Structure 1
Amino acid sequence: MVIYTHSGFAHVDDFLSVAVLLSKFPEAEVHRVSELPELSEEDIVVDIGGRHDGERFFDHHHDPNLPASVVLVLKKFFPEIDTENVEELKWISDWDTLGPVKTQQKWGVKLPPFEDPVVRSLLNMFSRATVIKPGDAFHSFMVEFGKSFVTLLKENTENIEKARKAETFTVKNLKIVRISENIPIRFIKNAHPSVAIIIQPNPRTPNAVSLIRVDDHPQVDFNRIRGKVPAHFIHANGFMAVVDSNQELITKALEIAIQ
């Protein structure tokens, strides 16, 4: 089995596409070519060939409506990954299909004029390769890299779902989100854009929760609960407090902190 992709200068899209495929088919060889040879029925083609069939051919360059090749590959071989909502994938796809200028405009960011040196070094290594075979050090690295990347995407998919299912309620007309696990706050903000406070288990203090102000909401200051609500910790700038996970205590803290 051979995985074909384009030769010449490598990009994040073709590198990740191949790494994801190698995590699924670690026995495959990788051939970087300028033109496709005659293919066997087992071969897979990514980011070259001007064709996408969702089975063996995963190019996007012929259709501006298609996402990057790595997204096409993931949709086929790892359908459990939420390719529509994982932000890292959306960024990678936009960068490859829209280019750096339009992508930065779309995301409202300004990147430095130089590339990430880790990414650049990695892509330089991939660019220099013509054939990558099982047993080669770089082949083994790409297999493990692909596994790690897929695991990250699965974890992010799980976090998206956890955030969607989180409990929501209001206090003084502010939206509060309570979640039973610690996940990065960005997932909660994406699922609940108007959230003002997040409640989640405190990782340091047993049977306690963290009350976290989101984006420095002007109505929330946990310094207001000092001396009024028992607390394990209150941050000096008032963005967070740690209290026991007693609902009555939590409610009191929220009502005092919000003005």
Structure 2
Amino acid sequence: MIKTIVTHPGGAHKDDFLACAVLLTQAPVAIERRDPTEADLKAPDVAVLDIGHQHDAALCNFDHHQLPRDHVPTCALSLVLQHLGIYQDAREFCSWLEVAEWFDCRGPVDTAEWLGMDRETLGKLNSPLDITILRRFASQTEHKPGEPIWEIMRMIGQDTVDYITTLRTRLDFVAAHAEVWEFENFKALFMPRTAPMPDEASSGLGYHVEKLGLEEEVLALVYPDSRGSGYGMRRFNDDTRMEFTRLDNEDDVHFTHARGFIAKTSSAEIDRLKELVAMAYQPS
């Protein structure tokens, strides 16, 4: 049983922060930001993350800095996710993970080039959420249960693990119930209301479209509205051929976003839903 988590002192990065956050879901213990001792590296009840030049899951050592320079981008978070047996699902479901691996292992210049953008643009994606939380994490040598940053880390870790571990179940549910509607010039994916309903009825629909290989044909997603008895309708991949403001004057449509990417209707009749989706289509 892990009794302590140790990670490096000094500046903090998303990798060590998230690796610690995810590991807190398994061991809600104090995090110490310091250099590990030889005893730490040999003790299975001390998890050493992103420092120590060792990767040995049996001893809870999760560092990547000893890997060869040309090794596939792998960070401490990657190793922790592998240890939990959810890395492959994380790579499939969390598009940000590969970017985090690249950024931590290759740096901002190579990552920006890999993403097809310039370094300056990449820097503009940071926000006070990134800056403040990491700075506060770096400002203390120890974080204990009950303290603000520790509690935030546990929430982030739990949400991340829950998302990864439950999405596979949701995808199986979608595959068992979703229907593909065919229109003259496009298709839509429809998720019927079921009993019981999943917590997030629309979650996983986009992944299912990709699994079916229909990314170029499906333009709209239709799913039960979590706030009422009707349905929500939204663009798939923000395809502007679906313009839901065209439904503004329909009596059973109570919301359309001004940008046209989503609408909500009180109707639950299949024929009417198909009619609304067809009305929202505008050829490019």
What TM-score do the two structures reach when normalised by structure 1? 0.76
Partner of 1:249: 272
Partner of 2:254: 233
Partner of 2:63: 59
Cα separation, 1, equivalents of 2:143 and 2:263: 54
Deviation by residue 1:56-86 (Cα, 9 ceiling, x = unmatched): 1211122222522112112323638822121
Q: By how many angstroms is 1:94 displaced?
A: 2.4
Q: 1:209 aligns with which of 231, 234, 254?
A: 231
Conserved 8 A contact 2:13-2:134? yes
Conserved 8 A contact 1:178-1:198? yes
**Matched residue type, 2:51:** I
Partner of 2:242: 220
Partner of 1:145: 152
Partner of 2:91: 84
**Helix, strand or coil at the partner of 1:198:** strand
Partner of 1:93: 101
Partner of 2:47: 44
Task: Provide closer, same or farther for how the CA distance between residues 96 and 25 of structure 1 changes in structure 2, counting only shifts above 3 A.
Answer: same
Conserved 8 A contact 2:57-2:83? yes
Q: By how many angstroms is 1:238 displaced?
A: 5.0
**Helix, strand or coil at the partner of 1:24:** coil
1:183 equivalenced with 2:203 (yes/no): yes
**Matched residue type, 1:182:** S
Question: Which ranges of 4 or more aligned residues in structure 1 deviate by more than 6 Å?
Answer: none
1:197 equivalenced with 2:220 (yes/no): yes
Task: Provide closer, same or farther for how the CA distance between residues 196 and 113 of structure 1 changes in structure 2, counting only shifts above 3 A.
Answer: closer
| Greater Cα offset, 244-253 or 85-94 | 85-94
**Helix, strand or coil at the partner of 1:99:** helix
Q: Which runs of 5+ in 1 are unaligned?
A: none
Cα separation, 2, equivalents of 1:30 and 1:160: 34
Q: 2:182 aligns with which of 148, 154, 170?
A: 170
Task: Provide closer, same or farther for how the CA distance between residues 255 and 121 of structure 1 changes in structure 2, counting only shifts above 3 A.
Answer: closer
- Percent of aligned pairs with the same residue? 24
**What RMSD over aligned residues (CA atoms) do the two structures have, in Å?**
3.5
Conserved 8 A contact 1:21-1:146? no
Alignment of structure 1 residues 93-172 onto 2, 5 Å: 93-108=101-116, 110-112=121-123, 115-130=126-141, 132=142, 134=144, 138=147, 141-142=149-150, 144-157=151-164, 158-159=166-167, 162=170, 165=175, 166-172=178-184
Task: Provide closer, same or farther for how the CA distance between residues 168 and 101 of structure 1 changes in structure 2, counting only shifts above 3 A.
Answer: farther
Cα separation, 2, equivalents of 1:38 and 1:10: 24
Cα separation, 2, equivalents of 1:129 and 1:222: 49
Deviation by residue 1:211-232 (Cα, 9 ceiling, x = unmatched): 22345535434465677x7632
Partner of 2:82: 75
Q: By how many angstroms is 1:36 displaced?
A: 3.5
**Helix, strand or coil at the partner of 2:38:** coil
Q: Which runs of 5+ in 2 are unaligned?
A: 193-200
Deviation by residue 1:142-188 (Cα, 9 ceiling, x = unmatched): 1x223311332245333465356343343224231223513388767
Alignment of structure 1 residues 17-36 onto 2, 5 Å: 17-28=19-30, 30-33=32-35, 36=37
Q: By how many angstroms is 1:9 displaced?
A: 1.9
Question: What is the aligned length?
Answer: 252
